[in-house]
Chain A
Amino acid sequence: MSEKLFVKGNEAVAMAAIEAGCRYYFGYPITPQSDIPEYLSRELPPLGGEFIQAESEIGAINMLLGASATGVRAMTSSSGPGISLKQEGISYMAGSELPGVIVDIMRAGPGLGGIDASQADYFQATRGGGHGGYRIIVLAPASVQEMYDLTMLAFDLSDIYRIPAMVLADSVIGQMKESLTAHPRPQTVLPAKDWAVRGREAGEPQNVVKSLYLGDGEMEAFHWKMHARYQELAEKESRWEEVQTEDATLVVTAFGSTARIAKTAISMAREAGMKVGLLRPITLFPFPKQAYEAISGNCKNFLTIELSTGQMVEDVRLSVARDAEVSFYGRPPGAGSLPTPEELFEQIKKRYLNS
């Protein structure tokens, strides 16, 4: 039963979590994501699930750690300041190979910043965020439908690869209302969670969820094992959207709400006779390197647009062919910093004439 609904992005995340079988949510209020805990505090208890408003984001991420360790699907959500507090727990989850979903509805920063749309937590999300050298899966929705679809995907990928997964959206995507087809969860074949703690019955092995590796070579082996898993992830799970890239001589690249505005600007450019396309990464980790490699075989001109002074642009530069040009246009987060389609069209025109 696929219903057609009209809902907020944040609500779509909460609905998808329930559809994905998540019955445990732990969170702490912070704008612009509070619709998620509000929705789940209402909907989880009647389903036999648990909702806890934790004492802090540190409390919440560790409750997620404890619940995930028993093998259930569980989730937390927050924004900038709260995501910073969760980094310790995310590092421990990564070190313990625990799945779990973290939703980050970005706000402006650093510090208390503000609640306006921001993409300045790209580095924090894609570089691991906490200590020790690890990565998490990062999915970047650009619509309410994708908030729903990618939240379900986050649960599946996290379970399959035993890596925490983050849904990373800006406040525009979290707060806007759009139509949503709430289709049933995909039937993915998932590995058994035979590592989960559940009480050791006679004859069963002892299960320990830990991140302490003191034996000779143990820690190093862990790092190489995870490195190989990240590579597998990059090969199999990279996702992106391409719009009119086949004949493009300029490819605009952006994620989240910026990609939506860029799409409108690209239509304007096409109408003006310019061969401009869009490459929108959907997985930020793994970064869809293969798409940039392929496109930069023909197209040598890339324009990266972000709501920051430039973070994803570094990954773009690392991914395109050596002879490709990568330029950048950024609007660091803050009140009134969301660019208009006309503004982006001007940027496209400037770069296009130069190409």
Chain B
Amino acid sequence: MDSGTVLTRAGTPLRMRNSMKQVFTRPESLKDVQTHFCPGCHHGSIHRLVAEAMDEFDIRSKTIGVASVGCSVFLYGYFDIDVIEAPHGRAPAVATGAKRSRDDRIVFTYQGDGDLAAIGTSEIIHAANRGEDITVIFVNNTTYGMTGGQMAPTTMVGQKTSTSPYGRNQAKDGYPIRMAELLAQLEGVAFSARVAVNSPKNVMQAKKMIKTAFRYQVEGRGFSFIEALAACPTNWGMKPLAANERVGSEMIPYFPLGVYRNTANL
């Protein structure tokens, strides 16, 4: 993109007068396209932070992304990188095969909470336990977004979804799983942190953490994991602002932000 162009929130370039200073540009690792995400969806912000980390380490041309099945399945449509689309839940195993066969590449997965914390628990736990030198971006929006808002393993107790119409009942459905803490117990994990993108402060912190996660891999230090709390206004039946607020009022108290494992103190 030339230096006289800037993106609006909707992604359409605006011509600027030369005297104006450019303060907000699209990361090079992202394509200049509109996303299919609903208004207020946090997938877009998280995509952007991942792309910024890739730009900062200048690794776009050597990165292989592994897309999961969920609302983020179109990873290849937004990131300007080579992508493998994995079966539902299997992204960490696919990434393992890719990284082991091309160990000079940066390999990351991008997975939802249904994908990673339900059907894919075996693959994530064992990739983490083997200490695969990959980065996992885990987007926890407490629901199955793509399939229409069914209950996920991360759905909050009492939360109504299309398959928990009376609210999640811990006696029958169990409790929401805290993946960042769970994986931090494994010796194979080098870095595990939980972030959110619901406020400017949290976005700045999330940016830093995602960068650290990639730094682990760039320096060949092993498995790094980011859990990003996210809003799904559409399936929560909320307006974007209210959904954004729910991340702070309901999710963060149960899913505390922070670093749970940081073996190299990066």
Contacts and interface: CB of A to CB of B under 8 A. Distances in A.
Q: Do A and B bind each other?
A: yes
Contact of A199 (B63, B87, B122): B63
A27 B127 CA distance: 14
A67 B100 contact: yes
A117 interface: no
Interface in A65-124: 65-70, 72, 74, 88-89, 92, 96
Nearest to B77: A208
Interface in A147-205: 197-202
Interface in B15-66: 60-64, 66
Nearest to B76: A208
Contacts of A201: 61
A70 B98 contact: yes
B181 interface: no
A197 to B, nearest CB: 4
A58 B83 CA distance: 20
B203 interface: no
A284 B61 CA distance: 42
A64 B122 contact: no
A208 to B, nearest CB: 4
26 contacts: A52-B100, A55-B125, A59-B93, A62-B87, A62-B94, A63-B97, A63-B100, A66-B94, A66-B96, A66-B98, A67-B101, A69-B94, A69-B98, A72-B101, A89-B87, A89-B90, A198-B64, A198-B102, A199-B81, A200-B61, A200-B81, A206-B81, A206-B83, A209-B83, A210-B85, A211-B85
Given A55-B126, A74-B97, 10 more contacts: A50-B101, A58-B122, A66-B93, A66-B97, A67-B100, A70-B102, A92-B87, A199-B106, A206-B83, A208-B83
Given A56-B122, A63-B93, A200 B60 contact: yes
A63 B96 contact: yes
Given A62-B86, A197-B64, A206 B76 contact: yes
Nearest to B89: A58
Nearest to B64: A197
Nearest to A26: B97
Interface extent on A, as a size class? 35 or more
B87 A198 contact: no
Interface size class of B (residues with CB under 8 A): 35 or more
Contacts of B60: 200
Nearest to A205: B82
A64 B85 contact: no
A197 B84 contact: yes
Contacts of A208: 76, 82-85
Contacts of A198: 64, 82, 102, 105
A75 to B, nearest CB: 11
Contacts of B61: 199-202
B36 to A, nearest CB: 11
A314 to B, nearest CB: 30
A345 to B, nearest CB: 48
Nearest to A96: B85
A219 B196 CA distance: 37
A324 interface: no
A74 B90 contact: no
A183 to B, nearest CB: 27
Interface of A: 24, 26, 50, 52, 54-56, 58-60, 62-70, 72, 74, 88-89, 92, 96, 197-202, 206-212
A24 B83 CA distance: 20
A225 B98 CA distance: 27
A243 B63 CA distance: 54
Q: Which of A50, A63, A72, A88 has the most CB of B within 10 A?
A: A63
Contacts of B83: 197, 206-210
B177 interface: no
B126 A59 contact: yes
A197 B93 contact: no
Contacts of B125: 55
Nearest to A100: B97
Nearest to A208: B76
Contacts of A202: 61
Interface string B136-170: 00000000000000000000000000000000000
Given A58-B93, A63-B96, A197-B82, A70 B123 contact: no
Nearest to B105: A199
Contacts of A56: 122
A207 B81 CA distance: 8
Contact of B97 (A64, A199, A200, A210): A64
Contacts of B105: 70, 198-199
Nearest to B67: A210
Contacts of B80: 200, 206
A88 B89 CA distance: 11
Contacts of B85: 96, 208-212
B218 interface: no
A202 B29 CA distance: 11
B101 A66 contact: yes
A24 B93 contact: no
B100 A58 contact: no
A219 to B, nearest CB: 14
Nearest to B122: A55
Contacts of A70: 64, 97-98, 101-102, 105
Contacts of B97: 24, 26, 62-70, 74
B100 A50 contact: yes
A153 to B, nearest CB: 22
A47 B90 CA distance: 28
A174 to B, nearest CB: 25
Contacts of A55: 122-123, 125-126
